[in-house]
Structure formats: C-alpha cells, structure tokens
Chains A and B, each alone.
Chain A
Amino acid sequence: MEFRPRDPDWDQKVRASFARQTVMETIGATIAALRPGQCEVALPYRRDLCQQHGFLHAGITTMIADSAAGYAAFSLMPPGASVLTVEFKVNLMAPASGERFLARGTVIKPGRTLMVVEAEVIGEDAGKRKSVAHMLATMMCLEGKSDQQALRQEG
C-alpha cells in the first residue's frame, strides 16, 4: 500500500526519535529501511539477550517488533505529534534462532488518532529466513505533543 506522509520531515523525525530510544542502542538495533508507513529494524544476535535455551528472548523479539510498528505509524503522523503504543498481540511462532533478526512494521490502517499496524520478525541464519513472530498493534497519535518534548524523568 502507498501512503503519503503528512509531515515533510517524516524521515528525519523518525530517525531522530529512534536515536533517542536508549534501549535500541543498548541491544544494538538499527533502522534498516524506512518508507512512509513502513519501518524495518535489524538486530544482530547477541548472547546476552537470550532466554534460558539460548534463543533470543521473546521480550527482545517484541521490542524490535514494537519499535518497527511504532515508527511505521509515526512516519505517517502530522508535525508536532508523538507516537504511543496502546496495545499489541504477539504470536511467537518458532524459537528465535538466527544470526540476525529483522522486524518489519507495516501500517494497515492509518487513522487520525489510532493506527493499526502489523509487524513480522524474521530470523536469518546462513541465508535462510524464517518467520519467528507476528505482532498486531494499535498505535496512538498524540497531537500537539511533540516527540522531542521531554516527558523525561530524572533518575
């Protein structure tokens, strides 16, 4: 589906917001691709992000899916707005094994206040790709609350 962004600075604003997510740097995730209504987040496997069997922790799988979905939605939001995750459902379809993971978020319905977004997480191993998780999420557009306005807490 082709979407037209409402903010001429959509690309720069998404990347700047992503850069402020300290946890993305902590786990080593980066934006691999960005288009209006679509965002891909890549994450190389790391031994310190695992669950008890040595696979990527489901919380990490969910985290990159959530960021990919959230920024897919944010790319279509108007200037001066910020994005917030309201809810999601995740199906974990296979153990998250692989050398690299790719979360691809795609907007399904760009509403004014709520956006429905889906995200798929793919595990890549020796050139083979398998789908490890699927998310369906609702993102909220907070108008008049700029993403850069720090609602930051000290601590």
Chain B
Amino acid sequence: MDKKNIIISVRNLVKKYGDFIAVKGISFDVYEGEIFGLLGPNGAGKTTTLEIIETLRDETEGDVIIDGHSINSDPLRIKEIIGIQLQAAGFQPGLTLVETINMFAALYDVQTNALKLLDLVGLKDKAGAHFDKLSGGQKQRFSICTTLINKPKVIFLDEPTTGLDPQSRRNLWELIKDIRSKGTTVVLTTHYMDEAEVLCDRIAIIDSGEILKIDTPDNLIDELVNSGFKKPKSVKEATLEDVFINLTGREIRAE
C-alpha cells in the first residue's frame, strides 16, 4: 500500500459517563482522501467517538489530531476545517434552503454560492423550498450539502442512509464518492454492511467501546474466509436487493 498522509489521528480515546465507559481507549488513523467507515451495533460507541472527534463532546482521556490541530487546544480551528452531518438533524424552521446555506456561510465566516452547492447535491430546483417539505433522501442530501459550505478537509457523516429506500441510498453513495473524488476525506458511520463494502476504503469495527478490527473490507472478508469460514447457505449470484433494483430501476423517486 502507498504511503499515505494521516489526516486524523485518534490516540487512546476514553469517554466515561459516570461508571459506564462508552469508549475504552481506542486509537486509529484516517488517511487523507479516503472514505473511512466506523461500523458497529447500536450503543457500540460510534456516535460518541465521532462527536468527540468533531469537538462536540469532551473526551475523558486521550487526544485527536486533525490536520495538525488538537481537539484539546484548538477546537475552533478544527471546526473551520471539518464539515458535520448529524444523525437526524433538522434545520431552522421557516427558512429556505438558500437562506439556510447563507446562514451557515455566515457562521463559518465564508463566502459561498448557495445555488452552486445545491446543484452539486441535485437540489437546485428546491432552492426556495423549506427543509421540512423535502423527502427523506433530499433531506440527507441537503444535510450533506451543508457540510461542504466551508470547503472542509474532512466531512463526518453519521448514518447518512438510514431510513432511505434503495434508490436514494445508491444515489447518496454516488454523491459521497463524488465528494471524495474532489479530495475531501470522508468519515462515516453505518449499520449497513453492503454500504460499507461498496463505499469504504477502510473500516473500523467497534463494539462495546473497543476497536475489534481495522482494514479494507476485502482484506477483512478474505481473512474470515481463510480462517475456514463457510456461509451456511450456498451463495446465490444475486441478492433480493439486486432483484428490487433490477425491477424498479436506479432512478430516485419523488416522495
């Protein structure tokens, strides 16, 4: 593997809530320009880890360095160079998409072309619409759109495709790949293994606040197969999802 630049370095991160230890001293690196996935069951500590990295939550111990800045000493600088999509977050009611983007541009103290950004996520024709009137997929795309306002080096997406139909999910995967192809590093969490397999260059599997494995999806699958693992049922050439997409097409639907 090529020598890559480390953009995020997580070192011995610990988060305690009273007696409960949500994150148990985890360490990992994220390389510049990759799509990095944090996988794990509910309550594994994914969101907590993500929010500590995003400077939204204080850590109990440890440090995170993003592009040379520490979350402990320089949280505001970090906020300037990252973009964040919160799980199921809403936006100020009563504002149009363009107004919301302009408001965030002011909060980042940057100039932006709202229409161009909306065009990037395929929402240009919704410029004057309100966020609550959008469909689930459109909401997520707009959420991702707001992470790009400050031209960040890294964007964080917390379960970006949860609750979306297969068409919208595929559409969002294309968008995320597109963003990465322009040089932005992407860190995301997901429950969907197919999503991680298609989208992520590398994944970390977290459970009970600890990292169990970090590698590329291919290597992890090969490792399991090499250990003698066999699926109980013979694998078919297609999945039910393939059938669904084949029948209903890739076109995203209006809701």
Is chain B a partner of chain A in the same complex?
Answer: no
- Residues of chain A having any CB pair with chain B under 8 Å: none
- Residues of chain B having any CB pair with chain A under 8 Å: none
